[in-house]
Structure 1
Amino acid sequence: MVNQVEPKLIKPLYDELQKERFVTLATVDYETGGPNVSAISWVLAKDDSTIYFAVDNRSRILENIKKNNQAVLNIIANESTYSIQGEAQIKEERINDVPLKLALVEVSIQAVRDVMFYGSKIVTEPQYDKTYDKDAAAKLDKQVMDAMKKA
């Protein structure tokens, strides 16, 4: 059975994208033309049709987007795996009020697909732990998420 394609985020995905979380991002590599997959965590659903994410402004992701704006975010949530396809653009080369040199990217959602294989569900979502100063990490995470909410 073919999964339905949604034109925007369903409510459970929108809700999950209101906080920092593990997400993978696929872009088209600007040098090879092949796929490039990265793990990111500073992600925010601005509304049900728009996702923001922040990355180091020297990231290969930005060069990839400049050459080809097609992007796919993959999120494990709501007991499933979703592919969120859209067009990415660099909204800000340097986010203000954040001590790191981060760029803000906006993804205009074109399609949301449940891509979980048939007859299964996710029982445990991915978890990660910050391996540097926990207080500094929490402070930085808050600064980045607040800046994205204001954008």
Structure 2
Amino acid sequence: MVNQVEPKLLQPLVDYLQKERLVLLSTIDYETGAPNVSAISWVYAQSEQTILFSVDNRSRIVENIKHNAKIVLNLMANESTYSISGEAKIIQEKLEDVPLKLALIKLDIQEVRDVMFYGSKITVLPEYDKTYDLNAAKKLDNQVMQAMKKA
């Protein structure tokens, strides 16, 4: 059985990416040319064709994207694992109305591939806890998500 490939996000994935989620981001390292994988959480599906995400603007992710715009987001949702590839563009060097220096990056989706191995499904989604001040984390998360939704 061949895994499903789509040119855009299916509605369950758009719905899933309406709030902060754990996502793996793959870029190409600008110095070594090797793959670079990072875990990020400020991710928002703006549409079936576009995902926005924010990272520290001093992050290696930003420099990698400046040198090579091809990226892949990997996420677990809808009982499967998806590889979402396309071209990234830094649309704001500093996200407005957020106290941290975060870049806002737009992924123009070219392909959404179901990459779950045959005969299996995700039964429990990954979860994480914030390990710093929970009130400050909640406030910051809300500011970032609202700023991305306004973009």
Give the TM-score taking structure 2 as reference length.
Answer: 0.99
| Alignment-mate amino acid for residue 120 of structure 2 | S
2:97 counterpart SS class: coil
Tell me, in whole angstroms, the C-alpha distance in 1 between the residues paired with 2:62 and 2:132: 25
Aligned to 2:18: 18
| Alignment-mate amino acid for residue 81 of structure 2 | T
Tell me, in whole angstroms, the C-alpha distance in 2 between the residues paired with 1:118 and 1:52: 30
1:90 aligns with 2:111: no
Q: Deviations over 1:55-111 (max 9, x none)?
A: 000000011001100000001000100000010010000011000000000000000
Aligned counterparts, 1:1-150, within 5 A: 1-150=1-150
Runs of 4+ in 1 over 6 A off after TM superposition: none
Tell me, in whole angstroms, the C-alpha distance in 2 between the residues paired with 1:108 and 1:10: 15
In the alignment of these two chains, the number of paired residues is 151
Shift of 1:4: 2.5
Shift of 1:121: 0.4
Shift of 1:3: 1.5
1:47 counterpart SS class: coil
| Structure 1: runs of 5 or more not aligned | none
| Alignment-mate amino acid for residue 111 of structure 2 | A
Tell me, in whole angstroms, the C-alpha distance in 2 between the residues paired with 1:3 and 1:123: 18
Q: Deviations over 1:28-75 (max 9, x none)?
A: 000000100000000000000000000000000011001100000001
What percent of counterpart residues are identical?
71
Calculate the aligned-residue CA RMSD, in Å: 0.5
1:120 counterpart SS class: coil
Q: Deviations over 1:92-134 (max 9, x none)?
A: 0001100000000000000000000000000111000000111
